Every structure is written in C-alpha cells, then in structure tokens.
Structure 1
C-alpha cells in the first residue's frame, strides 16, 4: 500500500496597498480619476494623506492625468451650511443631436463631498493671476488667509488675516484686489465686506451695504468692468469700486456667463449666446434646440469645462414635490469663417434630486 503524503495546504498571500512602496501607491492613485478621491479618502489614513499631498498632484501633472472637475455649491434645508458636490461622469456615455430623446440615464451623478475630503476646493478660494487664495473657513469660522502659486499646489503661504472670522464667504478677485463678503454675523456692519490689496498686503472694510443685503444669503458675486455685482436671495446689487457706493441693479446678474477660447458666452432668455467681437453683436449658438425639451426655467448656469460648455439647471419632478438638477455637456465648433458657432450635445441627464426649498449657489471647474 502506497502511503499518501500529506499535501501541504496552500497559503494565499494577498497583497495590500500598505505593503507596497510609497511611490508605487502614489503612482497608482495618480492614474485614478479624481472623481473617486472623495470616497478613497474614507478608505484609510494612508490614502487620505496621499490624496491631500502635493506629490500626488505633481505625479498627475507628470503623468498627464490631470482632469477637469465640476464642483457645484448648494444650500440644502437639511444642513446649516452650504454643501459641495462634484460631478462624476461615467466614461464613454454620449448623446448626439442626431440621437433620439433621452430614454435612459447616462449614469452621471452629482456626488456629495464628505467632510474628510478636505481638499482646497471645498473652502472659499479664488484664483488671482498666478496665485490661489484660500480665505476663511468651510466647516468652522476662520479669519485666516492662505495662498499658493498655482504650479505649487499645497505649498501654502500665509497672508494677513481678515478683520472677522468667516465661514463659506463669497469671494471674487480681479488683480490686485480680492473682495470678500458675508460668512459672518449679519450684524457685523463694519466689516461684513472687506477688500484685500495684494500689492500692499492689507485689508480694508467696504462700505456697509445695509441690512437688506447683510440679512439675506448671498448666492454669487461677480466682477465686471470694475463694478461688483452681488446677487442675494431677494435682489441684485451693484457696488461701484471707484465711487465706493452701493445700489440696486437690474443688470440681470442671474444671466450666467463664461469665456471659452477668448469667446464670451452668456445664457439669457432661454438661449445661449456668444459675442462676435468683430460685429459687436450677440449671436445664438446653433444646434441647441433639443435642450428645450428638458428645461422649465430661465435659471441656467454655464461654465467652461476644458473648452466645452457645461450647462446646469433644475427642473420639477413629475410629482412636483422635489426638483432635479440637470446637466448637459456641449462641444463647440466654429463654422462659416467664425461667423457661426454650433453646439453638439455630448450628453444630457438629471444628476441629483434636491428638495424644493434648496438654493443653488455656484458652480466652478477646477483642473486637478
């Protein structure tokens, strides 16, 4: 009888990221889409440390894996403070003008950023020239001001503090000035608004806009031709930076605009327009009639997404009990010697359901 030798049990040696060299982990994460970073921050302290590090973004730049990310800022009734969401785009999902009316979801979603994902996009920040300024706090009030050179992300330098601590302040910059408003007690009339001079590195209070402005949530602020346009929940206001004077404006601040390849675009009166600088005329983008099937409101935000036009708006659900935020990605093409611009709808979908009482504050695109 042949004796059977005892067969040794095989042992599975599973590898984990923690067992890999640090530079290999960084290289792997640098190849992952940034849309996954908020969730990956929750996986482990190691992942969170790397994702928030300067070396990861240097690696993305060297590998050519930097990508544009759309961030949307919403005030939900369930939260005391506004919340940031980022658009997760499912790869290779397109809808062309020649295709049928949308029948199924693309899978693209607005995803809430967890508090542990403390990347600078979730705090009030503004790009002025070659520098990005991070001003005030996101979860807690702060008077601190930090800045970094845009080619040296996470290499923070300290700037002079504001006069008051702020949380989720509204900011706009036009060299050499940065204007900051709100994010503090509405009774703070002396310093509710401040302006920072980058050249002199000094803060100066703005004239009091009055309780009508201070007492309502400021949705957005824009700078145009040295005038400051402030949109609140009730009215729109203009601040003349030369005469230091406030006034109510009918300048249609709710008309969103952006610049793509030196062409200015604006959404107004249910159409998207572009400015022909030769004739000084506003012309409509052709080929976008298909979008009218999905819009019920004139409130539409447009942003430059790496040379493409992104449109964001809301629409009632069938039950009228909630709203859905919709998004469309549009490629632009000039024709007839630049006298026409056509839009090609790459995809369109609802990306988030929100309560009726929510407030849309802002959206922006950042390359990371």
Structure 2
C-alpha cells in the first residue's frame, strides 16, 4: 500500500494538468511506450489518440518512425491481425503489440499501403468473392473507417506453395506487391480476371478521395497473373513476373522500363524488396542487393552479415524505416515437440560511401513475437508521426 499511494498521487497530479501541458509532456515520450501509457486511464487513451498530440509532436520536432505489421492466421477463418512495434516498460525490449479495433477489415488477400499517417487496406475476398471495399486506419488513433470503394472488385494473392525442407511442410499464399503509392495517389493494378486495357488499373487520389481508371498501353502487361510494382526515382514501375515485360509511368505517360532493373526484382518466393532514398534494395537467399542506376548493375550491400536465424528459406519483408531498413522474417522451431513461429526484426542503417559503395550496419535485431499458432507475415509498413 505504501508504494501504491505515491504512484496514485503522481498519476492524479498529471491528470489534473491542462490538456496543453499534458500534450507537451506526452509529445516528449517515445511512441514506443504509448501502448503501455494507454492503460493508465480512459483519458490517457483519448489524449494519446488525439490529433492535437501529434500536432504538438510535429511542432516540437519529436516525430518518429513507427512500424506496423500484419500477420495472417492460416486457419479456417484466415484471420488478419495488425500489430505495432512497441517497447516493454521493464527491460526495454521491443515487441509486437496487437491493435484492437472493432472496425478492422476482415477481407482475405487484401493489399495494404501507407499514405501519410494512414494505412489503406484494399480489396480482397469476402465470402469467397472479390471485394471493392477500402478501409483506412489512422495510425494516430488506431481507428478504422470506410473509404470510397474501387470501381472494380479486386483480390491480391498468388498460387499456393509449400516451404522447402528442412522446415516442416506448411501451406502459404505468397503475396506479391500490387498497390503502390506515388505523389499521394494509390495505383491498384490487376486483381481480377475480367479486365481489359481500360480498367486493369485504377488510381485513388487520397486528397480528393476519388477513383479513376488509368488506361494501360498494351494487354501484354496484364496477360500474366502475377506482377510487382514499385516507386523508384519518382517513377511508378509495374512488372509481369513470368514474362519479360516491364513498364513505367513517368509524368502520367507509359514507357518501356530498363531491362536491367527488371532483372533486379527477383522472382523467387523468398524475395522481397523496398526503395530507400531512391535506391532499390532486394533481399534474396540471405543476402541484400541494391541496384546501381548509374552502372546499370546489381551490387551486394557491403558490411551486412547474416543475422541470427536468417536463412535462404526465411519468408521476409523489408521497408523504408525513415532512411534505415527494417527487415522482418520468420523462424520456425520446435520447443518441447511443439512447433513455434518466431518473428524477428532488424534495424539496419544505410551508409553511402566512396566509390559508389553502400554499407549496411545492423543496429539492432531481436525476436519481437513468438506464437504456436500458424501465423505468417502479410504486410510490413512504416510511417512517421
């Protein structure tokens, strides 16, 4: 009781302050601690979710990069769960904390992109039918709302495949990048078999919240069932995976893309990629490569040494983490004859050195979640708030 009373007194003291002063205090605390602080009281939860707090963080220069992870439960319900990277209050270790929201999207095989502080969950399957629905989560308040639906119902997944030995056989759906963001607009290609040149791609202007079709120049772009997209050097790229076809959109016009860059994406199941400060990075076979636009060759990220449990069979995701690279991957182990899935995260600093060399320095890595349920990585996104 003697220890509880001072804690209660301190809590009552800060709650008695005007909101402006509370915002000023909370804005100076890392957002990694916000999930813990939200347990203090209902008023704290309301303050932590308010736009005024994030305006204060911006004014004080206290914005920081936040990581969001979506896991898919491979069961009869195919549940999707969203998490944010947080910090434990006692030992300061980083962990994935689930985001609970009554209006979270339930569509299977949807795509997801980040625009400013908002996550857009696009399309997917609802009752085994392709959906045109779009849901948006405000990462400041962790609340979901409906956005204008697409004009065409779309879903985003590829063929089923199985993991290679020595990992026990397990069924997955491999996600390929589909939707992509350029200048505040979300480009959404494919996702349906009944498409033509006029409706294969549509674009959402997030400022006006309106959808428009974006006509493509040739049907060879969508003749393949799988494709990749990326924004690189201020240009939107779309690549058909199983055909030697790649196009780009620059200043609203379609053009043929660099054949060398096409080969840098990789088609392997365990590949993933991201763009950081206009440099194209790809993870494949436990290595990270980058594309040298000047020399038109793919180079190895130097200084990067294999991380614990990172193997060529690891299903991984990578994302721009405010100029650094966040890499997440799965590890499957047996503990007391029970299969567990461990989700690892690493933060890698990018250093551009002389002679057009890029080095990766692993600043931190660790297990952020462990589960005995059949979860797998679906999406990894980052935003600065």
Settle same-fold status: TM greater than 0.5.
Answer: yes
**Structure 1 equivalent of residue 98 of structure 2:** 112
3-state DSSP of counterpart to 1:317: strand
Within 5 Å, give how 1:3-152 maps onto structure 2: 15-77=12-74, 80-89=78-87, 107-115=93-101, 126-127=113-114, 134=120, 143=133
Partner of 1:286: 302
**Residues 181 and 193 in structure 1, CA contact (< 8 A), matched pair in contact too:** yes
Normalised TM-score (structure 1): 0.64
C-alpha distance in structure 2 between counterparts of 1:329 and 1:312, whole Å: 9
Out of 334, 343, 359, which is 2:376 matched to? 359
**Residue of structure 1 aligned with 2:333, choices 307, 311, 317:** 317
The answer as to whether partners of 2:229 and 2:236 remain within 8 angstroms in 1 is no
- Whole-angstrom distance in 2 between the partners of 1:353 and 1:24: 38
Give, in angstroms, the shift of residue 267 of structure 1.
0.9
- Measured against aligned partners, the alpha-carbon deviations of 1:100-138 in whole angstroms (never above 9, x if no partner) come to xxxxx98222222233798xxxx976456x896746699
Q: Deviations over 1:291-329 (max 9, x none)?
A: 266436243322222222222111122436112111222
Answer whether contact 1:76 1:355 (CA < 8 A) is retained.
no
C-alpha separation between the residues in 1 aligned to 2:307 and 2:137? 40
- Match of 1:295, SS? coil
Q: Does the Cα contact within 8 Å between 2:340 and 2:371 map onto a contact in 1?
A: yes
SS in 1 for 2:307: helix
Structure 2 counterpart of 1:178, from 187, 192, 210 = 187
In 2, are the aligned partners of 1:259 and 1:265 still within 8 Å (CA)?
Answer: yes
Cα distance in 2, alignment partners of residues 275 and 13 from structure 1: 57
Name the residue aligned to 2:351.
333
Q: Find the counterpart in structure 2 of residue 273 from structure 1.
A: 289
> In the TM superposition, what is the alpha-carbon distance from 1:343 to its structure 2 partner?
2.3
Could you list the runs of 5+ residues in structure 2 that have no partner in the other structure? 1-7, 105-109, 158-177, 249-253, 255-264
Q: Secondary structure at the match of 1:288?
A: coil
**Where does residue 246 of structure 1 map in the other structure?**
none
CA offset at residue 165 of structure 1? 9.0
Relative to the length of structure 2, the TM-score reads 0.62
1:263-307 C-alpha deviation (Å, 9 max, x unpaired)? 221112321112222222211122223426643624332222222
The 3-state SS of whatever aligns with 2:362 is: strand
Distance 1:55 1:167, change over 3 A: farther
Matched, 1:162 2:132: no
Counterparts of 1:38 and 1:181 in 2: how far apart (Å)? 37
Per-residue deviation, residues 207-245 of structure 1 (Å, max 9, x unmatched)? 9x99x98xxxx9x963467565699xxx99x99897xxx
The CA RMSD measured in Å over matched residues stands at 5.1
Aligned to 2:202: 195
- Post-superposition Cα deviations, 1:180-222, rounded to whole Å, max 9, x if no partner, equal 787xxx9x978x9872353893455999x99x98xxxx9x963
- Is residue 147–residue 159 contact of structure 1 (8 Å, CA) maintained in 2? no
Give the CA deviation at 1:361: 0.6
Whole-angstrom distance in 2 between the partners of 1:250 and 1:310: 19
For residues 9 and 71 of structure 2, the distance between their equivalents in structure 1, rounded to whole angstroms, comes to: 46
User: Could you say if the C-alpha distance between residues 145 and 196 of structure 1 is closer, same or farther in structure 2, counting changes exceeding 3 Å?
Assistant: farther
Is this contact kept in 1: 2:121–2:135, CA < 8 A?
yes
**Contact 1:38–1:114 under 8 Å retained in 2:** no
Tell me how far 1:367 sits from its aligned partner: 0.9
How many corresponding residue pairs?
Answer: 315
